[in-house]
Structure 1
Amino acid sequence: MNLYMFQMLVIFVGMATLEVVTPGKGGGKRSRTRGVKWWNLAHTQHFMSDSLLNPETPLFINPSLQPLTRKQRRLVTRNPGTSIAIAKAARMAVDECQRQFSTRRWNCPVYDASHGSSIFGKVVRKGIRECAFIYAIMSAALAHSIARSCAEGSIYTCTCGRHSRRLANSVQPRDWEWGGCSDNAEFGRKFSHDFIDVAEKGRDLKCLMNLHNSEAGRTQVSSEMSKECKCHGMSGSCTVKTCWMKLPMFGRVGKVVKDRFDGASQVEQGNGAINRSKNRFNLIPINTNHKPPEPKDLVYFERSPTFCTKDPSIGHTGTHGRPCNASSIGVEGCDLLCCGRGYRSELYTARERCNCIFHWCCKVTCDTCTKTKVRHICL
């Protein structure tokens, strides 16, 4: 038996012994969150782990991958190089969630998940729209990260993506040709589907909601691909122009998913059959005047709490102590963010760069100035 076969054997033995499955009736709370523990890879201690960033570290002794389920670890084993992309996706999704909701009452807080819980807390157990966004952004981030990693050559089982069939079959004359390396959105979407949806085994409304929102996130990533080109020729001329398909910066995807969050549909489960293979989850809007949710729409079935005060049922601490904008009437304004409780103002000293001078070539020097500013804090 050679070294490679020995390592593969130990990997599968490790996968069989690392995971402890707790039996539950109808998918209990503990089993419900088992498949999303990979989100915990977003934590700094996991993301910056030397063993995770070292592709030579065998997966069966890699402590950073223990949040994965047995099937998820098996998928990673079959696709060497994906472990780093998964950790990057988790960090990227958490950062984008907190950026999009930084001025909202629910500002996408994360918690210590050392005891095996979700880093997003108990919110993920609810059928509210905030949970819908979490599932969509995490799924989108994984599809995006895997697609980019394929194009970069860091995953051994995928390469550059296929060119756009719509553009390739176009009969219109064009002054460019295919070249470069497209992001492999097709592989990214499939990997995200196989990695995330495997944990959703139920047929209840919460399970269908999670599946729909995860697919909505992946669909959004694929639909945001665009053509990018580069000119070739002497002295900057464009004698030959090659083009490839590229995904946008993830912030663009996050903004669109956030728009879907604002327009999410409250749904209930219909009476018809469920065809999971075609992502037809038979979810119908509660408001009969609304159209059925489309593939990119986010769905929920429970109304969100106000997030104004501490709520142990979802693990939220409320908006007490949050900074607010006293001059704004928007969601970041003190009236809305502080939920009518009022706010206090305080002075603080800030150090800023000032009097910056550009020196040819190419240096910028600045002074450090001290200013007194006012900030407002929710009561």
Structure 2
Amino acid sequence: MAMRMRRSCSWPGLCACRGFVFAQLWAVSAASWWLLPLWTPLFDRSDSPLLCTAAPGLSPGQRSLCRRHSNHAEEVANGVQLALDECRHQLQAWRWNCTTPGAEDTLGPVAQSGSREAAFVSALIAAGVVHAVARACRQGALPGSCDCVDAAAASLPRGAQPGCGDDVKYGYRFARKFVDESEHDRRRHGGGGESRLELVQMNLHNNKAGRLAVYNLAYTQCKCHGLTGACTLKICWPQLADFRKVGNFLKEKYDASSAVRLVTHNWIARSGGGGGGGAGAVTGGRESGKAARWPRLHLEPVDEAFVAPTPSELVHVHGSPDYCERDDARGVPGTVGRRCDLRSNGTGDCSIMCCGRGYNTVRVTVEKRCRCKFRWCCSVKCERCPQTVDQLSCK
């Protein structure tokens, strides 16, 4: 992340001291709105409306939402950064470790590849925005939009009093509007035919899976108050789960991501005529008895032996590359130079990480804790001892 910089000049005349920085950011403006974490350090919180105007990658609908809720922009950026950091943690021992060549703060083409990695990132980004906005509500950072909320009466233990906590419902609703709006605009204004629609439907599905992960993992936290440990008064409030727990949950969904394809059905419904209406009935002034026909997009498993994925599961429409060799066009950094471990039983093992190319060994001296002693009471005192170890990296 760039360091936070204070504005010392007015818009639109960008000051010379920041001209180079803005030029560099505009050079990568073809990337998505996930670049917001790069832009927010250039603006004070009071300048959020300018951020909504200047930041590249926002779709028309997102830009409009950003202007109406300009104080949310920094929280959205915080959510994106939270998600990117978690992505790198979860995939640190995988061939693709949530980075792209020469652009460590964005994910480039991989995010729009339709692969299971794209599914994972989309879900994490949506989850990050829910988490950041819900926490900002509790902290009073979004006045006029939300605040901390009391625990629901149904979730309170017997005798407990409601306390004010994270507004998970508002975070969910805002993330649905803002994050999904990019896909809705892509469908409305973009070309690309069915392949684009397939990616849009995939992203919308995975966005929802990410939001649900945060929503469903939230819980009611309680704390007792009283003398000498007595629980004279118990206060409970809505609490977001730690985002690491959300990341762990979505990583399991990534491992089990379902391959799907886009299917278009012609959905027919009739208005009037004694048909009984129902969920598919058409209203709004159509002539009685007339049939309405429109396409209904639906994702179905490629393998018909599998059941349709639930809203909480991740889906992908394209297979993943092996991520072994660098491919700038596809946003793949490759694994040359990546650290590996001969003792690993997982994807970090040298035979897997290095794709059969072998590895280099370098002997280095590092300092490690040693001769640790317990001291009463209650600490552990350790010395720092030099130790020679082998570091392995892929050829």
**Deviations 1:58-81 (Å, cap 9, x if unpaired)?**
522678745434432432333353
Cα contact 1:344–1:376 (8 A) shared by 2: yes
Aligned with 1:41 (options 23, 31, 36): 36
Query: Aligned AA for 1:370?
Result: P
Q: Deviations over 1:301-349 (max 9, x none)?
A: 1111111112344121211111111122321111111112222222011
Q: Which residue does 1:374 correspond to in 2? A: 390
Q: In the alignment, which of 105, 123, 130 is matched to residue 136 of structure 1?
A: 123
1:301 equivalenced with 2:317 (yes/no): yes
2:82 and 2:312 mapped to 1: Cα distance? Answer: 20
Q: 2:155 aligns with which of 167, 185, 192?
A: 167
Structure-2 change in CA distance of 1:251 and 1:155 (3 Å): same
Question: 2: distance between equivalents of 1:355 and 1:50?
Answer: 47
Query: Which of 352, 357, 377 lines up with 2:368 in the alignment?
Result: 352
Cα deviations across residues 175-234 of structure 1 (Å, max 9, x unaligned)? 332422121111101111111111113271111001111111001110001111011222
Partner of 2:256: 263
Q: How does 1:102-181 map to 2 (within 5 A)?
A: 102-110=92-100, 119-156=106-143, 157-161=145-149, 163-164=151-152, 166-167=154-155, 174-181=157-164
The alpha-carbon distance between structure 1 residues 162 and 208, as it changes in their structure 2 partners (threshold 3 A), is farther
1:213 paired residue among 188, 206, 215: 206
Indicate if the aligned counterparts of 1:212 and 1:281 stay in contact, CA closer than 8 A: no
Post-superposition offset of 1:261? 0.5
Relative to the length of structure 2, the TM-score reads 0.76
Give me the whole-angstrom Cα distance separating, in 2, the residues matched to 1:61 and 1:293. 38
Q: How many residues align?
A: 331
State the one-letter code of the partner of 1:87: A
Change in 2 beyond 3 A, CA 1:165/1:269? farther
Corresponding position of 2:215: 222
Equivalent residue for 1:56, pick from 46, 52, 57: 46
1: CA distance, partners of 2:248 / 2:134: 19
1:124 deviation in Å?
2.0
Structure having the larger proportion of residues in strand: 2
1:289 counterpart = 2:305:
yes
2: CA distance, partners of 1:338 / 1:37: 31
Q: Which residue of 2 aligns with 1:20?
A: none
2:85 to 95, 101, 115: 95
Contact 2:152 2:162 in 1 (8 A): no
Q: Equivalents in 2 of 1:162, 1:112: separation in Å? A: 45
Aligned-pair CA distance for 1:110: 4.1
Report SS of the residue matched to 2:342. Answer: coil
Give, in angstroms, the shift of residue 242 of structure 1.
Answer: 1.3
* 2:351 equivalent among 325, 335, 347: 335
Alignment deviations for residues 95-116 of structure 1 (CA, whole Å, 9 cap, x no partner): 00000000001111145569xx
Are the aligned partners of 1:175 and 1:241 in contact in 2 as well (CA < 8 Å)? no
Question: So what's the TM-score if we normalise by structure 1?
Answer: 0.79
- Provide the C-alpha distance between the structure 1 equivalents of 2:42 and 2:327, rounded to a whole number of angstroms: 37
**Counterpart position of 2:68:** 78
Match of 1:5 in 2: none
Q: Counterpart of 2:241?
A: 248
Q: Which amino acid aligns with 1:190?
A: R
Identity of aligned residues (%): 33
How far, CA to CA, are the matches of 2:354 and 2:94 in structure 1?
10
Q: Which amino acid in 1 is paired with 2:78?
A: K
Q: 2:151·2:220 contact (CA, 8 Å) conserved in 1?
A: no
Q: Using a 3 Å threshold, how does the CA distance of structure 1 residues 327 and 360 change in structure 2: closer, same or farther?
A: closer
Mark the structure with the bigger radius of gyration: 2
Structure 2 gap segments, 5+ residues each: 1-9, 12-28, 188-193, 268-295
The alignment status of 1:187 with 2:170, answered yes or no, reads: yes
Report the aligned-residue RMSD: 2.9
Query: Offset of 1:272 from its aligned partner?
Result: 2.2
Do the aligned partners of residues 186 and 111 (structure 1) sit closer, same or farther apart at CA in structure 2, a change above 3 Å counting?
farther
